[in-house]
Chains A and B, each alone.
Chain A
Amino acid sequence: MLDAVPLIAALASVPASIGLGASIPVDYTEPFHLARAFAAIDRLTRGRGAVVFDLAAGIDLAAAIGRSIEAADRAARILEFFETTTELWDSWEDDAILVNRPEGLFTDANKIHRINHDGTYYAVRGPLNAPRPIQGWPVVFVPVASVEASAIAARVADVALIPAATPDIARRASKALREHADAFGRRGLPVLADVVPILGATVAKAQEMAGMRANSNGDTLRFVGTPEQFAAMLRDWHDAGVCEGFNLRPRPIPEEINLLADCVRVLDRPRPAEDVTLRDRLGLSRPLSRYAA
């Protein structure tokens, strides 16, 4: 499997306003490494970076890393991981960089803070050795494929991704998730539904494509049809308040991705302005540094 961080870093040079997210097996990395890599990604992409908390990689990776994850207190550990990582992103206040040539001050040392995190699972002194991300914190996506992941998403996700085979399932799942998030004072958590589109210029063509494809996970919506039909379905779900949007999971073949672009044209969404951060596009607020006076 390719490592997602160098992949999105390589896409930083593609001139576009699209967000760039990388999936990270958070059980097997350190807060300092993750905070540092995404501070770089967010700078290189001018505020388009996102982290996807991969909570499902555990079993596959345990043998490769040579360390299995403790199931009992996993959620508590992931929450502390998130806490520590965001402390590191906050450790430089937004205006810590001065580049004041006459006085010889590159940074304002008063605005860069040790975090002195000394918790149950992590001990990290800090500060991070990279300036605060453009977005404050890169956007955090959490795929919700288990009860545990749902509990974690309610506490830390900027955006939750849910598998749902029907609108009713999606509505129930997102309602439960949002209520859970509300309980932690995190109102209006956006939810995107996973969907696997199998598209063709005609219905027959799409069905032919679908026939060539092994059945995907039965929990996830699989759509077979034309771009116009797909666009209509997306609009219906959205208008019915099922979810805020979709996590599209096409096959990596250019024809299908081009057809997806046709759907976007049908939906006639406004083009985002240049140099808009991913947080702005998603309507998410920018977190302030917890260390700012």
Chain B
Amino acid sequence: MYIGKQLHFGLFIYPGGHHIAAWRHKDAWSEHVTELDYFRRCALACERGKFDSLFVGDALAARESRGRVVGEVAINNLDPVSVCAAVVSVTEHLGVVATLSTSFHEPFLIASKFATLDHLSGGRAGWNVVTTSQDAAAANFGRDPHMEKTLRYARAQEFVDVTRALWDAGEGSIAHHGRFFDVEGSLGLPRPPQGWPVLVQAGGSPSGRAFAASIGEAIFTAQTTLPEAIEFRSSIHALMAARGRAPDTVKIQPGFSPILGSTMAEARRKELELDELVHPRVGTWMISEYLRYPLYDLSPDSAVPAADVRAANPDLSPAAGAFLDRCVREKLSIANGGRILARSRTHQSFVGTPETMADHMALWLSEGGCDGFNLLPAWFPGELELFVDQAVPVLQRRGLYRRDYEGHTLRSHLGLAVPAPR
């Protein structure tokens, strides 16, 4: 089957892996998650697999449960910009995407960081623009609670406008006086090789979608079924059209967590092994955190109390709301709900052979559910290297995936143009 377009892949790196218990896997590089070699080995696998980018997520608070760090899960990623800078120095083609929140930074310093990263890498930088809603993060930056959602996104939009103006001005100055920021000055650097680093967005709420349609050039999202993915992608395209943006100026990449085997039975066995490594306390913690509702005092075998959760959280995120619906629909216990989150949080997890995975990806691509996937391997480096060495050749043979890089910048990998200065 020839579809006429090809998949894009980004790697979402994470300490240990994306399965919450992955770090307990005997071959996972858990002892090395803060070392350069961990990032180097994963980055070299990405480059062998001709991926667009390596993506580093962020959190601005330790993972806690009732005031204590959760000892049963791996630690957060190291500082994303530092990791990305280290990665570009050991690779030639691979793009890097660093997550940085507009809620606890200043536009001038962030514009300078990404301009530096883009210059250092010869045009391989991306910025995943996030707003931060965690109270735990706000507590690390003063006494104010986190901002209300529409305000957060209004700040994010102005933040991005200021950074783009600074990049466009190059060695010239800007003078911006807005609702949230007053910025007068110059980065004192030539315009970055990509014009702007590739702007990545990941919000699924109405405010998040509007923001993505406004600034997003790549969108990391979390739909788990094809109809939902088609709906999301077409809604983004429609919102973009209303802003005068062409649909091919964005690449939409749902999260995808593969567990691959040479046979279906082998893949299933691997999944089961990982599930058995989930510490009982971790499942309850994950579901409590995700639904923002403490379930610690209930029996793990009892049903998820959906009505109570909704009553306590009227503004649950769309992804969390969809997960709650699923708990009701499938009559999931707290333990079983926790196990689903343990696999890949709410991203799609896929268990199968490279061939069945290629069929699945071809269908999503041809039906308009995605432009590619943000890959969340169950554990590192094994499941990543298996994907690169076993699944990528199958996708290449079927014409679904490129055989080599055609350019040197992240924009060229993604098929995005360098934006004209405003």
Q: List residues of chain A with CB under 8 Å of any chain B CB.
A: 1-3, 5-7, 9-14, 28-30, 32-33, 36-37, 39-41, 43-46, 60-61, 63-67, 97-99, 101, 104-109, 112, 114, 122-131
Contacts and interface: CB of A to CB of B under 8 A. Distances in A.
Given A1-B188, A3-B116, A112-B62, A44 B82 contact: yes
B117 A29 contact: no
B142 A106 contact: no
A20 to B, nearest CB: 11
B139 A125 contact: yes
B75 A5 contact: no
Given A65-B106, A99-B23, A125-B140, A40 B72 contact: no
Contact of A6 (B26, B68, B117, B277): B117
A6 B73 CA distance: 28
Contacts of B72: 104-106
Contacts of A127: 62, 69
Interface string B70-89: 11111110110111111011
Contacts of A126: 62, 140
Chain A interface mostly: mixed
Contacts of B277: 104
Contacts of B136: 125
A6 B82 contact: yes
B76 A9 contact: no
Given A2-B116, A10-B88, A61-B185, 17 more contacts: A1-B188, A2-B115, A6-B81, A7-B116, A9-B81, A9-B82, A43-B34, A44-B82, A45-B36, A65-B106, A99-B23, A123-B143, A129-B60, A129-B61, A129-B75, A130-B75, A131-B75
Chain B interface mostly: loop
Interface residues of B, number: 68
Given A64-B108, A65-B106, A13 B78 contact: no
Given A64-B108, A101-B26, A108-B71, A123 B142 contact: yes
A69 to B, nearest CB: 13
Contacts of B279: 104
A105 B71 contact: yes
Interface string B163-206: 00000000000000000011111111100000000000000000
Contacts of A44: 34-36, 39, 78, 82-83, 86
Residue of B81, B82, B186 with most chain A CB atoms under a 10 A cut-off: B82
A130 B188 CA distance: 32
Interface in B1-32: 16, 21, 23-24, 26, 30-31
B109 interface: yes
B120 A7 contact: yes
B72 to A, nearest CB: 5
B408 interface: no
Contacts of A2: 112, 115-116, 119-120, 189
Contacts of B188: 1
Residue of B31, B68, B84 with most chain A CB atoms under a 10 A cut-off: B68
Contacts of A99: 23, 30-31
A241 to B, nearest CB: 38
A45 B188 CA distance: 28
Contact of A12 (B26, B89, B182): B89
A123 B30 CA distance: 33
Residue of A6, A13, A123 with most chain B CB atoms under a 10 A cut-off: A6
Contacts of A30: 104, 141
B59 interface: yes
Interface string B91-125: 00000000000001110110011011101100000
A80 to B, nearest CB: 13
B127 to A, nearest CB: 12
Nearest to B76: A129
Contact of B74 (A9, A39, A106): A106
Contacts of B84: 6, 9
Contact of A129 (B30, B62, B115, B185): B62
